[in-house]
Amino acid sequence: MINWLRDIRAYAVIIPVCAGVFIAADDQTSIVVVLPELLPDFRIGPGELDRASWTITGYLIGYTAAMPIMGSVSDRFGHRAVFLGALTIFMLGSALVAISPDLHRLIGRDEPDLNWMIGARIFQAIGGGAMIPVAIASVGDVLPRARHAMAFGIIGASAEAGGVIGPLWAGLITNVSSWEWVFWINIPLGLAVIGALKFSPAGVRNPTRIDLIGGALFVAVLALLTAALSRAGDTDVVFGALIVAATAALVATVWWHRKADNPILPVRLLRTMKFTASNFAHLAVGISLITAMVTVPLMANTVLGLSPLDGGLMLLRMTVAIPFGAIAGGLLVQKVGARWPAVTGFVFAAVGLAAMSQWDLDIADPAMTLHLAIAGFGFGLLIAPIHSSALLYAKVGERGTASAFITVSRMVGMTIGLAAIAAWGTVRFENLAGDAPITIEGVEEITSAGLTVFQGFFLSASIVALLGVVPAWLMSRVRADSVSVASD
């Protein structure tokens, strides 16, 4: 009884960090619902998806860039202190995003500049992305090793729940107020988390060497490749220069990690087929998932003529199925290993997305809900197999790094996929509707062009999900309880 009460108190201590992770994950997906509302404030039209997408891509880059290095930073300076710092950055970034349409007045410019919002989103995301590895690392401060798995699951569930609730949360707020309040609300929520963190232990400080060079090189690869893909529809000299620079940064990253004593990326695990396959699988998940999450509300709020709340509720039909798939995936992994649940998850996602690529202006229930639920259940089914296979052969001291890297793989997929598809979509839209007259027939032509682009997005996501079957097949087919890593 005493041990049980001690565990309850210990789990209660991690509630504040879970709340912080939830808030940060919420802002990954809430933006996709408010995007149609905020674009007019920056004079951005529906044919400029390549520019608009950077409000999401910028967040993903900052979110991803912070993950690999912040675990080491928190080990050196204390988990609670770094988490508080990350949360403060996130709150300040949220305020900057909310006021970004008016920042041009401070410097005497006449027109609002979307770059202000993109910069604010990146700054906000650096704090948000830092919270997840720090939260995972802080588990060891409050719980015995035997309870770590449950705590990791709670933190992971908090991140997934934030992503699921984000679209509905944003839709509800924009239905009663302006889109800025989606970001202003982060301030009081963050202050409540800061107040609760005073009950958490500070954490032990270790003189850990931080691989700043490796982290900087990794960020350079991600940023340069994303910038290049955002110009994929216009393969000019700048596009070529960005590809060359990204390749050079990748070569430098590989060279550095071969010689570094304590590299930021898990080199030993990357030489393991199961870990590498899991990361490629998560990359495919990121690409296909972000495509669906952006396209559903954008399609709802444009060609279907629905409100932001309706767009959020529409997307919720997919995201609410993800936890159910995650539970089923966890049970299956315990029975048959990671391979078959992962393959099945990709097939479900591909089938659902392929059905969505056939949507027209008359799409309605029950077909719409069925298609969204199939895709969402498939994405959920993938969570447990991918993480289980990735961590299967990780030593005790590598699990935090491995967990962060597998999360980074999905974020990289989301970042690259969004940039590439947005660039392709912009060119496709211009080709289909660039000369449409300002008449009733012209409006119909523009609507038809938008529908064609959205259908192409869903079809592309379906193809990527189907390709994910290949790395899924290479993942582990044995149960975790039958593997020992003591000799690794």
Q: Are residues 152 and 391 in contact, defined by beta-carbon separation less than 8 angstroms?
A: no
pLDDT score of 45: 65
| CA–CA dist 418, 426 (Å, integer) | 12
State the Cα torsion 174-411-416-321 to the nearest 10°: -60
- The amino acid at residue 78 is G
Which CATH superfamily includes the segment(s) 1-210? MFS general substrate transporter like domains (1.20.1250.20)
Distance, in Å, from the CA atom of 341 to the CA atom of 327, rounded to the nearest integer, reads 11
pLDDT in tens, 138-182: 766 666 655 655 566 567 667 767 876 787 788 888 888 888 899
Residue range 266-479 in CATH 1.20.1250.20? yes
Question: Rg of the chain's alpha carbons, rounded to an integer?
Answer: 22
* Strand ranges in 308-434 using DSSP code E only, listed in sequence order: none
Structure-block tokens of residue 440: 């009733």
Rounded Cα distance, 292 and 375, in Å: 9
Euclidean distance between CA atoms 484 and 244, whole angstroms = 42
Q: What is the pLDDT of residue 487?
A: 37
Q: Residues 6 or more apart from 392 whose CB is under 8 A from it?
A: 274, 338, 476, 478, 480, 483, 485
Which residues of the chain have a pLDDT value below 50? 1-2, 433-434, 436-438, 481-488
- pLDDT value of residue 343: 95
Sequence-distant (6+) residues with CB within 8 A of 264 are: 68, 69, 72, 211, 214, 215, 218, 257
The number of beta carbons lying within 10 Å of the beta carbon of residue 285 is 28
pLDDT score for 379? 92
Locus of tokens 């509300």: 297
Angle between helices 2-13 and 15-38 (to 10 degrees): 30
- φ, ψ of residue 486 in degrees (nearest 5): -60, -30
pTM for this prediction: 0.73
pLDDT single digits (tens) 284-334: 999 999 889 888 888 888 888 887 778 878 888 898 888 788 878 877 887
Gap between the Cα atoms of 135 and 403, Å rounded: 12
